[in-house]
Structure 1
Amino acid sequence: MGWEQYYGHEQKREMFARALQRGRLGHAYLFVGPSGIGKRSFARLLAQSLLCTRRPDGELTACGECSGCRQVLTRNHPDLMEVGLPEGKSELPIDVFVGSPERRGREGLCHELSLSAMQGGYRIAIIDDADRMNIASANALLKTLEEPGPGAVLILIAEDADQVIQTIRSRCQQLYFGPLNENDLRKAVEDQLARQEPGESQLPLETVLAGAHGSVEQALGRMNRSPDFAAAEKSLQDMLARPQWTAARLSKAAEPLLSQFGSDTSAQREGAHAVVGCCLKACYRQLVGGSTAGLSDWQRDHWADAVDLCLETGIQIDRRATVALCLDAFFQELEIRLRPTWNPSPVRS
């Protein structure tokens, strides 16, 4: 994959291109934004560009053919390290950064970054799920951020910046990656589909894109959903748009959507994300359409609080052991935050 196959976030690419031209590339960046909108792909393309042996000085390009590019594409470049949440774990453990207890300080990401680049130039680390670091992991990484090795570039990736420990966050240049616009999302999905085995989607592409919230990951996940999936989403969103619902009724309305997923824990989490994402879209639609729907400023504030709740819950789903309890708490809190909007004027004490 090269920049010509990457869609969206043009301003970020231009920013890094200018930084290279001026010799002002930073040593630590924090990429923040929703899941599936291209943060990790951007980080890998940036790394590939920096490690491309044919890249002209000061340009952000990647030829895709040199030894450096091929090693990045096959995930075996000696100067590029990637870490993320281990399977079955809820936190990034300290061992990822400083090695196992038996070899602490002699292996792990921090040790690797202290070494000089094996092929000259940059030595790059991509840290996915940076919002899952615990205190011990953050403290281990902190020294590397404060005293990076020669040519070191760290790229941290997170969905929620507030969940990244403040001492880490303050030492990184933070960049927000928003959902893809409709045109970029369409191009990205069509490009992905062209490179996959042909298959028959049960949902029209327009329906897939409309419910993907600007996320390629979500769009591809929706391709083989049945028409009942779209109907269940619409039913849930319609209920949220009407006043006087209760948490219990909202929970009941979410059941048809949850039934589209399996019963194992992973499938339950995926279903919970679908429900919360559906609510997020409905709340956001109310928020941005408030000026034309006759909403007052205080009502819009409540819808903004609801959007924040949806985003917070999306993070919590992967951290809570019991998905059902997480959704129950979400529905109850959503009712609390939106109930005041059902009245024509705010209640004053």
Structure 2
Amino acid sequence: MTSLYGNALAKQAFAAALDGGSLHHAWLFAGPEGVGKASFAMLAARRVLAGVGQPDDFSMPADDRTQHLIDAGAHPDFRKLERLPKDDKKPDQGLARSITVAQVRALEPFLGVKPTYSDRRVVLIDSADDLERNGANALLKNLEEPPPGTVFLLVSHAPGRLLPTIRSRCRLLRFDALDDADMCAALSDAGAKPSEIDELVGVGQGSPAQALAMAGLDVAGLDKALGELAKGDPSNAVRAQLASALSLKAAQPRYEAFLDRAPRFIADHARNRTGEALRAALDAYDAARNLAASALGLSLDAQGTVFEMGGIVASLANRR
């Protein structure tokens, strides 16, 4: 996306701290995944490194030298920590499980010298949730005794999982899910088809990134099938048909969308229940979430997984 939408208060708070000379040495950008935290963190890093006289809306000219250097990985005062490819020779084969302690310790030479182009340096971590335990402890030492002129920008989708000592060293900026108007603008800016935007807003839950991941996958059709299953499927006809359709190799993106949608669908049903019916729905939600989490990680058979997930959804009909 070429522009940032929503969360104006968070952006204004950062700009005010920077322009007012009260910039904290560590910031935690926390909120739902896919709402623009990392994109804003990159613009915030550029703004810090570019110095005074920058626009409050964090916009940048096309010939911005600081941004060009950051994009090229050549800015001497900027470092970004993120999960690296499992295999350097095969960068398209997936990422490592975590940001390692070795990556954090590799910052030491960078933090041990004065900034080159300005009076500050920036370390951006996207996301801090991915830090392995030893890496988090190594980072904590830098947050407790920050080198002069260093600004840490931490992106987190689940700040409650971070070490309390890391959270306590950071100034928290909360990012919220986008409203429908901002979602429409963000999706349009990202090139979503006009005919899909309303549907994507509905499935995105305030996250443009989540919505775009569902583009072209006929999510409405998946939701319709889930609705049919929730009425009961005594002959197994609905889930057998769905399992067959989603097990094709070409249907892999839609299969993954189904695994994402099914637990959410059950959670929505649970909100309208009480007593034993609520307990049954919550049990179904736990089962669906666990199945979805393990299906891709363990490379479970797609057809069998969809059939099993369909049975979990169909169990909602047993207790209304």
Task: Identify whether the pair has TM-score above 0.5, normalized to the shorter chain.
Answer: yes
Q: Aligned AA for 2:163?
A: I
Judged with a 3 Å threshold, the aligned counterparts in structure 2 of structure 1 residues 56 and 180 are, in CA distance, closer, same or farther, namely closer
Aligned to 1:29: 27
Aligned to 1:148: 146
- The one of 9, 24, 37 equivalent to 1:11 is 9
Compute the displacement of 1:87 (Å): 1.9
Contact 2:31 2:175 in 1 (8 A): yes
CA distance in 2, matches of 1:153, 1:312: 38
Deviations, residues 275-296 of structure 1 (Å, cap 9, x unaligned) = 34323543564577x5xxxx55
Q: Aligned AA for 2:101?
A: I
Aligned to 1:101: none
> Which ranges of structure 1 fall in alignment gaps of 5 or more residues?
99-107, 195-200, 345-349
Pick 1 or 2: higher relative contact order, CA cutoff 8 A, min separation 6: 2
Aligned to 2:111: 113
CA distance in 2, matches of 1:30, 1:202: 35
Compute the displacement of 1:161 (Å): 2.2
CA distance in 1, matches of 2:148, 2:225: 56
Q: Aligned AA for 2:103?
A: V
Report the count of equivalent residues. 306
Aligned to 2:202: 210
Aligned to 1:96: 103
Compute the displacement of 1:33 (Å): 2.9
CA distance in 1, matches of 2:237, 2:156: 33
Contact 1:52 1:66 in 2 (8 A): no
CA distance in 2, matches of 1:96, 1:162: 23
Please state if 1:160 is matched with 2:140: no
Judged with a 3 Å threshold, the aligned counterparts in structure 2 of structure 1 residues 8 and 191 are, in CA distance, closer, same or farther, namely same
CA distance in 1, matches of 2:240, 2:48: 51
Aligned to 1:38: 36
Judged with a 3 Å threshold, the aligned counterparts in structure 2 of structure 1 residues 119 and 176 are, in CA distance, closer, same or farther, namely same
Q: CA RMSD in A?
A: 4.3
Deviations, residues 55-83 of structure 1 (Å, cap 9, x unaligned) = 259x5645434432443354432212112
CA distance in 1, matches of 2:287, 2:122: 35
Identity of aligned residues (%): 25
Please state if 1:324 is matched with 2:307: no
> Which ranges of structure 2 fall in alignment gaps of 5 or more residues?
87-95
Contact 1:28 1:172 in 2 (8 A): yes
Aligned to 1:224: 216
Judged with a 3 Å threshold, the aligned counterparts in structure 2 of structure 1 residues 340 and 215 are, in CA distance, closer, same or farther, namely closer
Aligned to 1:279: 262
CA distance in 1, matches of 2:4, 2:104: 30
CA distance in 2, matches of 1:301, 1:18: 47
Q: Aligned AA for 1:224?
A: G
Contact 1:131 1:161 in 2 (8 A): yes
CA distance in 2, matches of 1:140, 1:79: 20
Judged with a 3 Å threshold, the aligned counterparts in structure 2 of structure 1 residues 136 and 224 are, in CA distance, closer, same or farther, namely same
CA distance in 2, matches of 1:128, 1:95: 16
- The one of 230, 247, 255 equivalent to 2:243 is 255
TM norm structure 2: 0.74
CA distance in 1, matches of 2:248, 2:39: 29
